[in-house]
Chain A
Amino acid sequence: MKNTQYIKILQRLVVGCMALSMSACATDLQTRVAGNLTALSKNQTVAILPVETSDPGQKEMAKMFRQGLYANLKQSEFHLLERYVIDGLLKQNKLTDPSILLNINPMQFGEILGVDAIVFSRINKVERSYFVLHSSIKLSVSVQMVDTRSGEILWRAEQTEQDFSGIGKIPTGITTALLAPIQFVTNKFNLSRMTSNMVDKLTVLVKHPNEADRENQFEKPIIAKNATHELKKIEELQQLKAEWQEAMILHEKAELSASSKNLESNKEPLVEIATKPESNSVKKNKIQAHSIVQKIKRVESEMPPLSPQKEAMIPTPIYMSQAITVKPISVIESKEAPPITRSYVGTSAKQLTSSKTQLYTVQVGAYKTKAHARKLERSLKRKGYDVFITQNGKNIYRVQVDRFASKEDAIKLAHHIQIQEKLKNFVTRFSGV
């Protein structure tokens, strides 16, 4: 009771003094949480990532801030992954630069760190100023917590903390008026204390998400930008696969209704190469096939490369379209010819076909609608495949990949597409584009 009265009196005095001062120590905090934050329990693990800084001189502040986040969020409902585990795993994955972390898909962090959510943070400003009778410290930070399983932003906050000392706060004497500003801005203890106070205020809602007002909650779930991109890619891929399955059925029907002669010449058994021994021609093309695999692995990877260094290590892909110049030619007739050893460089499709050599290709799709065929063509082209569309007599648009003089080479690519792209396919004779 006595304390309460005392506080009230002091509060009034403070208000009076504040009115006299030119400005006061201030906090600007904008923080919002998602409803799903309450779903995090001790069974879920959260990683506080290294803090990004906008200036090399902010490293000390970044360390203090991360330490403060740990100490405060230790009191929250979820489990925190040990800092040394995070730093060790990031180092193993060559992710030592905090400035690139925000550009990485949160789901990737889920796999790298084995966590359910991650906390990104950035020091925007650490400003110390001194003007003889006035000095100030201004700190500004941004924080974001993202669920790695869904990409949802669980918490987002921006905070600016400012404090000063000097004439504005009514010095108690001439000495104080001169000394206080110097002491305030140079004393490391003040920066520690301000950082500590800042993190205390910043983390209140995360520690007690149930206490969030409506205005401090996101109106609807927000998915992080990187996660949205990746989820969209997965959905598109799914859509393509679904269309392909439908097209496969159509294709089979079309093939069945074709003439028996055409059936004889065009129908090939579905690829089964797992148990087939490597032929000499395959061995000859081994280096090139390896290059293709390298390229495809890089492009089809559903998440961005781990680091620029890692990306730099990947050899420059050899685009098959660069090796073979494909020009639309109408070659309907293709008679049987003895197989030749495939030679890519300097041998165009025209040359190969015009020399009456039998070529093989890998068919990955057949559509009634040209737009659907184009969509698959574009998707595979982006991944570096030499893909093209052919049309048969039944107005079916067939999506085919590459041409080979050797059937074994075609089978190898078919197998690769089956594994990497999860696209059903078969090897067929190339009948021209």
Chain B
Amino acid sequence: MHKIQEMQTFSITYMKAWLAGKQNSLLQKLTIFILLFGMVFGGCGTVDLKVRKNLDHPNIHPNTVAILPFTLAGPTPEGVPVHRLFRECFFNYFSYLGYVDVPLETIDYKLQAAGMKKYKEVLGFSSEKLRDILAVDAVIKGQVLETNNFTGGIHAETSIKAKIEMIDLRTGETLWETEHKQRIYSGILSPTVVEIIQDQMDNVKVHQALYKTAEMFSIGIMMKIPDPAEVWQKEIRLPEIKSIETNLKLNQKLKPNDRIYVNLTGDAGLKGSFGIGSWKSNIPLREINPGMYSGSYIVQESDEISSALIVGTLKNAQGLTGKRFYKHGMAVIEKSSLN
């Protein structure tokens, strides 16, 4: 596969020169033609991901992961920050896997607070330092080594070459790594005239073309990254709500200044709230005793609901939420006659 990629790179370099009129001999044209023929069969190589550590044992798998800012080795094509774009795209696809991924804004904020001024500085941070700053089990480092966006009369290509690795901050070991070049191209030998023109059109939109390439890179790599989803699935437990009560009476129509009381019992020490259907949510509940939550809502002049169920919510530190509906009554708020 590497040989094919080398051939492809070689042929593109030649073709660029040919288009510039520097190479003109029939022999050279033929060489390029043969090499391009190889491209048709070469397609886009699959990601070669090397797993450095056996992750079969549940205790070994990292749970929380931070995707560090990616770095860019070369210049940005047409001013598009490929490394940022690729990191965002990678993060979006990575969220499908069974890791708890820290939002990118949170990571950047913490790194900046710790003194990081340039993205490249992050490569020099030790595992201990990163663990102190980010409080995660593992990090993903990404380096965009090479980017290309070329559109010619008969050939269009966008490529991203990058090195990505996951490092276990608990041990400092590399869990997996890959260096891959993702290409999206079309040319005289690739299928049809319509496609050639369409692909060239798309390729001229640099940002879009690079994002699409990053997307295909991400899809390819996600198929290979070890996914611990099965490991964590058994341990999932939502906060439990044992009971929910309200003061709603049967067929009662609430009026301004009426108060809806909600009492909820469940797991202790969590963040409690309730909602009135989808109309109003996150009305806070106070934990008056361990595991007993209470709160209320005063009906406002402008409120109006035809019928809505009261839903109680308990949220834990991991962001997991337990919900329970009060099914013995519905909130009906008539519009105030004053309005």
Contacts and interface: CB of A to CB of B under 8 A. Distances in A.
A176 B219 contact: no
Nearest to A39: B278
Contacts of A17: 193-194, 197
Contacts of A172: 188-189, 191-193, 196
B234 interface: yes
Given A152-B278, A180-B191, A83 B98 contact: yes
B15 interface: no
Interface of A is mostly: helix
B95 interface: yes
A115 interface: yes
Most A CB within 10 A of own CB, among B43, B201, B277: B201
A111 B325 contact: yes
A75 B319 CA distance: 19
Nearest to A44: B281
A196 B251 contact: no
Nearest to B151: A6
Contacts of B235: 88
B236 A149 contact: no
Contacts of A107: 309, 325
A64 interface: yes
A87 B229 contact: yes
Interface string A56-93: 00000000101100111011000110111101110110
Interface range on chain A (Cβ under 8 Å from partner): 35 or more
Contacts of B196: 172
A390 interface: no
Interface stretch (B69-77, B131-139, B171-179, B327-335): B327-335
A7 B319 CA distance: 47
A150 B308 contact: yes
A148 B327 CA distance: 14
B92 A74 contact: yes
A132 to B, nearest CB: 15
Chain A CB within 10 Å — which of B151, B194, B219, B308 has the most? B194
B309 A234 contact: yes
A235 B44 contact: no
Contact of A70 (B92, B197, B204, B212): B92
Given A70-B96, A165-B192, A149 B329 contact: no
B105 to A, nearest CB: 11
A91 B231 CA distance: 13
Contacts of B239: 114
Nearest to A238: B250
Contact of A64 (B40, B201, B219): B219
Contacts of A187: 43
Contacts of B282: 43
Contacts of A222: none
Q: Is the interface of B mostly helix, strand, loop or mixed?
A: mixed
B193 A115 contact: no
Contacts of B215: 71, 196
Q: Which of B100, B234, B277, B323 has the most CB of A within 10 A?
A: B323
Contacts of B229: 83-84, 87-88
A70 B275 contact: no
A88 B233 contact: yes
A190 to B, nearest CB: 10
Given A10-B201, A82-B100, A111-B324, A149 B275 contact: yes
Interface string B294-316: 00000000000001110101000
A258 interface: no
A317 interface: no
Nearest to A72: B92
A265 interface: no
A26 interface: no
A80 B95 contact: yes
Contact of B98 (A82, A89, A114): A82
A84 B66 CA distance: 18
Given A3-B204, A114-B320, A71 B278 contact: no
Given A71-B95, A239-B251, 16 more contacts: A14-B198, A17-B193, A36-B278, A71-B218, A82-B95, A84-B228, A116-B278, A166-B192, A180-B191, A183-B43, A183-B191, A192-B219, A196-B219, A238-B251, A238-B330, A241-B250
6 contacts: A21-B194, A85-B236, A110-B323, A176-B191, A238-B330, A302-B327
Interface of B: 40, 43-44, 89, 91-93, 95-98, 100, 151, 188-189, 191-198, 200-201, 204-205, 212, 215-216, 218-219, 222, 228-230, 232-236, 238-239, 250-251, 275, 277-279, 281-282, 307-309, 311, 313, 319-325, 327-330
Q: Which 8 A-B pairs have the closest CB atoms?
A: A88-B233, A180-B191, A169-B192, A84-B229, A114-B321, A84-B98, A71-B92, A88-B236
